[in-house]
Structure 1
Amino acid sequence: MIVAAGRGSRFGAAVAKQYLLINEQTLLQLSVARLASSAYITHCLLVIAADDTTAHTLNFELPVSYAQGGAERWQSVSSGMQAIAQSGAADDDLVVIHDAARPAVTTADIERVISAAMTEPYGAILATPVADTLKQAQHQPSDHNLLSMQKPDPDSEAMSNNQRYYSQRTIDRSTIWQAQTPQVFRLGKLRQVLSYVANQQLKITDEASAFEQLNFPIRLVAGSRQNIKLTYPDDALLLSALLTAQGQPSS
Structure 2
Amino acid sequence: MNENKTKIWALIPAAGIGSRMKAQLPKQYLEIDGKTILEHSLSKFLEHPSIEKVVVALHPNDHHWSMLKIAQHPKIITAEGGETRAESVLNGLHAIKQQKAGDDWVMVHDAARPCLDAGSIDALIQAGKDSKHGAILAIPSVDTVKLANANQTIEKTLNREEIWLAQTPQYFPVEALATAIEAGLQQGLPITDEASAIEAQGMNPALVIGTRKNIKVTEPEDMLLASVWLSHQ
TM-score, structure 2 length as denominator? 0.90
Distance of 1:185 and 1:151 partners within structure 2? 38
- Describe the SS at the equivalent of 1:99: coil
Residue matched to 1:5: 15
Matched, 1:204 2:196: no
1:106-150 residue CA offsets vs partner (Å, 9 max, x unmatched): 11001111221133212111111111112234xxxxxxxxxxx30
Distance of 1:197 and 1:89 partners within structure 2? 22
Aligned CA-pair RMSD: 1.5
Distance of 1:73 and 1:221 partners within structure 2? 22
Distance of 1:188 and 1:42 partners within structure 2? 17
Q: Which deviates further from its counterpart, 49-58 or 60-69?
A: 60-69
Matched, 1:189 2:201: no
| Residue of structure 1 aligned with 2:124, choices 91, 113, 131 | 113
| Residue of structure 1 aligned with 2:83, choices 55, 59, 71 | 71
**Computing the radius of gyration over CA atoms, which structure comes out larger, 1 or 2?**
1
- Describe the SS at the equivalent of 1:10: helix
Matched, 1:38 2:48: yes
Gaps of 5+ in 1: 138-148, 153-165, 247-251
Change (3 A) 1:94 1:42: closer
Distance of 2:146 and 2:230 partners within structure 1? 31
- Describe the SS at the equivalent of 2:50: coil
Residue matched to 2:4: none
| Residue of structure 2 aligned with 1:87, choices 77, 94, 99 | 99
Distance of 2:203 and 2:53 partners within structure 1? 28
Equivalent residues, number: 221
TM-score, structure 1 length as denominator? 0.84
Matched, 1:134 2:145: yes
Residue matched to 1:27: 37
Matched, 1:239 2:226: yes
Contact conserved, 1:27 with 1:103, CA < 8 A, in 2? yes
1:58-107 residue CA offsets vs partner (Å, 9 max, x unmatched): 1226621100000011100000000000011033x101111111110111
1:169-204 residue CA offsets vs partner (Å, 9 max, x unmatched): 322111110101111111111121112112101121
